[in-house]
Every structure is written in C-alpha cells, then in structure tokens.
Structure 1
Amino acid sequence: MAGKRKKESGLTLEERLKRALVPEEEQPYHVPENWVWTRLDEINHFFSQTLNPATRPEQIFELYSVPSCENNFPEIVLGSEIGSSKQYVLKNDILLCKINPRINRVWIVTGHTDHSYLASSEWIVVRTTRCNPRYLLWLFQGPYFREQMLSNVSGVGGSLMRAQPKWVNRYMLPIPPGQEQERIVDRIESLFAKLDEAKEKAQAAVDGFETRKSAILQKAFTSMLTKSWREKHTATTWVKVRLETIAALQTGLMKGKHYDTATVQRPYLRVANVQDGFLDLGEIKMIEVEETKVNRYMLQTNDVLFTEGGDFDKLGRGTVWKGEIKNCLHQNHIFAVRPQKDRLDPYFLSYQAGSRYGKQYFLSCSKQTTNLASINSKQLNSFPVLLPCISEQQEIVRILDDLLAKEQKAKEAAAAVLERIDLIKKSILARAFRGELGTNDPSEESAVELLKQCLAEGEVVP
C-alpha cells in the first residue's frame, strides 16, 4: 500500500489516534490550538494500482504526466499511444512530483473527462477524502514542505535526484478543521489572483523590452530619431558603404597552437565573454601567444566586438570594448572591428548591427544549422553600413543611450516586481499554514475529530 504504513493489528482507534498525533515537542512550529500535527501517511489512503494501457489499446485515457501538466492540461490519449504501465488514479487525487528539478510541483486529478485517469511514475500520489485537496495542494507548495522535499532527495546529480515516497509519507503536516481548510484555500486563491494580475502586467513589461528596443532602433536607422536635429544642422545625406571601407577588421588568436619561438601568457576574450550589447567579464582566461605577435591580437579601446556564430537572435551583435582589461587579446571566434575615428562612431556601429536592419543582413548571408548561424570575416567586411555624418551618428548614439537606459530601467523595475511577487506568495503560504491569515475560528471543533475520521476510513480502504 503506497502512502500508508502497514496497520498495526490489535490497536483501537484511540490508540491509532495517539500514534498519529505528533507530540508537541516534535512539532516543527506552533499552530492554533484546534489544529493538529500528523504525518502524511496517516491521512493518505492511496493504494498503488498499475495499469498497462497496451491491454486496452482502443480505450481513451486521461493521462497525467509532468510535462503535460506544465501545459495546464492532461493528455487525452488512446491506450495504444501510451508506452508503459501507469498508476491508476482517481479524481481529486493529489500528485506530487518527486524528480528534480520539478520536485514539489503539485497537481490535482481534476477529471476533465469521463475516461479512466492514469498518472506517470514521476508522481507521488496522495488520496484523502477528509482533507481538502486544494488545501494539500497549497501546503505541498509552501516553503516548509518544499524545504523538506529538497533536503531529502537521493540519486546521482541533476535530473536523477528524486524524493523517496517512503520518506515523504513520513513528513509532518499541520491539519486544521475542515471549514478552516476551506477558508485558507479561499484566502490564498483570492490573494494570489490579485498578485497574478500584477504579475501579468510586470511580465508583459519584461517581455516587451526587446520589442520596444527593436522599434527604437528601427527609428534610429531610418533617420526618424534625428529628424528635428537635421532641421537645425547642416547634415549630409545618408549613404550606404561597405564596412571594410570605413573600418579595419582584426581576426583573433587560435587556441591550442604550438610555438617554436618565445611565448607569453595574456588574458583573452572568449565567445562566452561577449554578450548581446554587454561584456561578461566574470571569468577571464589566459592564453599562450608568441611574444612578437602580442600586438597583432591586442584589443584597443573602442573596438567593436562581433561573435563569429551563435543563436539566430544573437548573430551580428556588436559590443564596444572600453579597455576594461589591460593587454587583452581575443580568440579567433571573435572579430574586432576598428572604425576610422572621423567616419564611424563605434557605438553607432554596435547599435546598427543589433538593429532589425543589421540582423536581417547577417541572417541573410550566414551559414545556418538547426539552431545556430555563423558569419565569416568576408561577410562582416561586406556589411552595408547606413552612414550619416559623424556628428549625426553621435547624436543618434546620445538619443539611443538615453531612451534605452530608460527602457532598461523600466525592465529592471518590472523584474523586481516579479521577484517581489514571488516573495509575497511564499510569505502568504508560510503564514497560511501557521494559522496567521486571520481565518481561524478557535471555537470550531478540533481537527482531532477530522483526523479520527481519516484513520477510521483508512481501516476500511481495500
């Protein structure tokens, strides 16, 4: 029997109740007087039953797997489409995921159809007729229960780590009277609904950042951002020129070469260091280089760095080197473009390469595989730069810096709201299962009576 210790023969209901109640000195924290602490297996009446769907190939099943529940709906499938035996479950059973990284993901068998319900072996199944399933759902997602789950896993690293049902079923649970369970669920779900409204707006602000950034860059490189500036200044017409006519391209140093001449160790940039619009310099490695070739591969302030390849959305990204690390070189998968100072502003080039115009060019000429794309030095040199005069370039950079800084600030503020909402939810769940949401009625019958009913029903479960 999964989820229940073998019943000790000869015990009366009162003796079983005494055994089921957690002594005060062992209770994890204080709860209201009319609540009780017990262990999960005392209220869990689930008996493990498996079914091989191959024996019923034409029957339709409602299948609860962890991936399908991530999509907020179980799979409705034929038995012939299910490749292995599954747990047979019932409506209102609570499913608790036991495998990392989804440990503590909880689902209730809602019974969307009239078909039989099956659950994959990734779930620990809890079945109780006296406790509110949604109370247990929120309890299992709360910080107290989650900490127990994460502190008691076994296996060999990563996705193979899992919680053991025999231990999970011995975890202690705070159980309030039935009506209080309902009030707690109502209060949690009411508060969470309001928080989810705020979360949806904040998430939209975060998700919309790239769209807003793309629109701003589009205006910049169709001369719309500097329309009023052009009216006040003598500005030349924009022209389109190949990058190699206004900048020099420097290729990088290949790793793993063996040298016969004297060498030195120097810091160097890897692809991992060059991100979309910024540098990640948290880890800088050293590379061996011929002493006479150091200057050949040395980065200079205001070089624009391009990665040779990467994800489609990152292809052609340009990041300006500001001399952050002295005597720094770059590997061969990074190109360093050195603009002519009087003709091309490095930040103007960086922004243009990351605009819709720039990305369309690099994608159009790149070598592409399933998930990656790459460019070579010839294609980069051929990039057709949209070029106004240097003063207008600098004005565009100034406007973009200001607008995108405001957008970045708004994005960070929205991200902070998301973090705050998650913390508030954790706080609500922590308070809920301590009886601190203001819903408890101390005059209600003690949950001891509810626990008695659970134990009595457990005696007759087949």
Structure 2
Amino acid sequence: RIVRLADVLSEPLVNGRSLRPGEGGLPVLRMPALRAATVDFTQSKSSDRSGNGHAILVAEHGDVLVGRVNGSHSLVGEGALVDGPPTPTAIPDSMIRVRVRPGALDPRYLAHLWKSPVMRRQIEARARQGGAAIWRINQRDLADVLLPLPPVGEQRRIVGLLEDHLARIDATTIRTHSALDQADVLSRALTARAGRGALAGTARVPANLPRAAGVGDETLPGLPERWRWTRLHDVAEVSRGIAPPGTQEWNPSDTDVSCLRVANVQRGRLDLDDVRTIRLPPSQVEAARLR
C-alpha cells in the first residue's frame, strides 16, 4: 500500500539546531554526512556548546536525517540513517530529523528507499528555490511524500537482500580500485624504464647533458649508446596558455573558443568530456588553438 510519511511517524518532524562553530562542544554533522544510506559521522565539525543545553538535538540510533537546504537541486532532501553514532553528535539546523514507528516502517528500509528514483522525483518536485539560489524543502512538504509500504517482515527481507548485494558491490569496487592502482603503478614504472632505454637490453653510457645555469638536473641515469639527454626547449616549442578574460562588456565580434582547465588534464591524456568555452577577440583565437 501507499502511505504518506506523516502516517508512519512516531514523533513530529523537527529541524536541527543552529550551533556556533568553536571548541569544547558536541560535534555537529555536516551535509556530506548524508551521502550514503547511513550517516557518516566522520563528516562533522566542532561547536562551542556542550551537550547539556535543551536546545541541542542529538542524533539517535534509528533516526533518519534529511537535508532541508542545498545549493544543488539534485542533493536537497538527501537522507541517511543514524546507525549507532560513535559519540553524541548534534543535528544542525540544515537537517530535519525523521522518527518512524518501527512496527510500521523499518528505518533501514526507509533509508534505502530514500535513495531511490521514486523518492528523488517527489523530493525534487517539492523543493523550492529561495534566496542565493539555495534549494529548500520544508517539513510540510516532506510529511506529504508518498512511500510504498510492504509488511514489516517484507521490508526487512528487502533490506537484507539489498545490503547483501551492496556489500558484494563494495567488495568488488575495492578490489577493482586496488587492481587499477597496481596497474597505474606498473604503467608508470614501465613508461619510466622505456623512456630511459632500460627495456632495450643494451649497454649503458653515462649521461652527458651539459649543466644549465639555475637548473637542478640532479643525477641523470645512463642511456643506451646513441641515445642522449636533451632539454625540452631544444626539441619543442614551449609556450604558456592564455588567461581566461574576466568579466567584461559583451563584444559581438568576439568568438566562442573551447578552453581547457586543469581538471581536463589527466595523467597521460586530455579529458574532453567537460570543456568550457570563453570568448576571445579574433586576433587571439589562433594563438590559443591547440595543434
């Protein structure tokens, strides 16, 4: 059956509290803590308030926390389950605490369901953009979100199957990243050996590159016979890129030109999936063009 979130709450929805940053108080969660299905308590900051004040709202096991503000439409309303906090941690005013009736809705089921497309569509449809281009969702809109609600036993079976598959995916991801890291190390080592002729299996001769003033070459490895060290400027044209123009008056004669950023320069290749454009006078376009 389909129910509203309000129908399965054990307590009314409540916003966290605003705590000033400082030292000596409770840690306070940050928004990145809600990225996974369970709250990441390493994503917190210190505050200058102790845990004795009645105004502080502390995360407790079984709570589901929802981000009520975000600069990104796709991130507003993110939610995560509090699963055994390692230490008392405060909920900030940028989050809403959700407490459900365990006899009606398993909090773990809700946390996983919250990450699903059916929930994201509802949340994004209800979110509103306020000042400073910040997206917000309030308690009233959150309470009206619709949930598919199987029997509690079925919810727990779904959670068990889902978490088993997610654990397998996590393990595979770790192994894959480890293999990629090893491959990267081997690739760099092989490239370095090839670059100094170490794969040729021929006799080595000492490096004989003349020293340049103000350049620290350190000790260069020997190379195969008929190889030699040289400086980049002796075999290539080395030039600096252009500085993107700042805010300026629109000039209809300027031309849109693709412009690389540091993020586009990956190890051994250019990533051209996200290339931005700038406007340049025609006289500068040719000088800025890649060859």
Shorter-chain TM band: 0.5 to 0.7
CA distance in 2, matches of 1:122, 1:253: 41
> Which position in structure 2 is the counterpart of 1:439?
none
> Which position in structure 1 is the counterpart of 2:96?
124
Residues matched between the structures, number: 245
The residue type equivalent to 1:37 in the other structure is: I
The residue type equivalent to 1:99 in the other structure is: V
CA distance in 2, matches of 1:81, 1:107: 25
1:199 pairs, out of 159, 166, 173, with 173
1:215 pairs, out of 174, 185, 189, with 189
- Aligned pair in 2 of structure 1 residues 150, 158: CA closer, same or farther (>3 Å)? farther
Pair 1:66 & 2:31 matched: yes
Superposed CA offset, 1:143-199 (max 9, x none): 111121122221158971122321121011111222112111111111111122222
- Aligned pair in 2 of structure 1 residues 69, 152: CA closer, same or farther (>3 Å)? closer
CA distance in 2, matches of 1:284, 1:154: 31
Pair 1:238 & 2:210 matched: no
Helix, strand or coil at the partner of 2:229: strand
Helix, strand or coil at the partner of 2:90: strand
CA distance in 2, matches of 1:188, 1:90: 23
Matches within 5 A, 1:292-331: 329-331=286-288
> Which position in structure 1 is the counterpart of 2:49?
80
Identity of aligned residues (%): 19
Question: Does structure 1 conserve the Cα–Cα contact (< 8 Å) formed by 2:65 and 2:95?
Answer: yes
Q: Kindly name which structure, 1 or 2, has the bigger radius of gyration based on alpha carbons.
A: 1
1:155 pairs, out of 129, 133, 136, with 129
CA distance in 1, matches of 2:271, 2:7: 55
Pair 1:178 & 2:162 matched: no
More helix by share: 1
- Aligned pair in 2 of structure 1 residues 140, 278: CA closer, same or farther (>3 Å)? closer
The residue type equivalent to 1:278 in the other structure is: L
The residue type equivalent to 1:80 in the other structure is: R
- Aligned pair in 2 of structure 1 residues 77, 279: CA closer, same or farther (>3 Å)? closer
Helix, strand or coil at the partner of 2:69: coil
Helix, strand or coil at the partner of 2:156: helix
TM-score by length of 2: 0.64
Helix, strand or coil at the partner of 2:10: coil
Aligned-residue CA RMSD (Å): 4.3
Question: Does structure 2 conserve the Cα–Cα contact (< 8 Å) formed by 1:95 and 1:106?
Answer: yes
- Aligned pair in 2 of structure 1 residues 185, 242: CA closer, same or farther (>3 Å)? closer
Superposed CA offset, 1:98-150 (max 9, x none): 333433432223343574x5211222221123221101111111111112112
CA distance in 2, matches of 1:247, 1:93: 62
CA distance in 2, matches of 1:255, 1:65: 34
Name stretches of at least 5 consecutive residues in structure 2 with no aligned partner: 205-223, 246-252
Name stretches of at least 5 consecutive residues in structure 1 with no aligned partner: 1-35, 257-263, 290-296, 298-327, 337-462
- Aligned pair in 2 of structure 1 residues 196, 255: CA closer, same or farther (>3 Å)? closer
1:288 pairs, out of 257, 282, 289, with 282
CA distance in 2, matches of 1:128, 1:255: 52
CA distance in 1, matches of 2:82, 2:170: 23
Q: CA deviation at 1:39?
A: 0.4
> Which position in structure 2 is the counterpart of 1:260?
none
TM-score by length of 1: 0.43
Question: Does structure 1 conserve the Cα–Cα contact (< 8 Å) formed by 2:17 and 2:91?
Answer: no
CA distance in 2, matches of 1:52, 1:246: 61
Superposed CA offset, 1:188-243 (max 9, x none): 1111111222222233345556434422321122312333799xxxx734322233
Question: Does structure 1 conserve the Cα–Cα contact (< 8 Å) formed by 2:16 and 2:95?
Answer: no
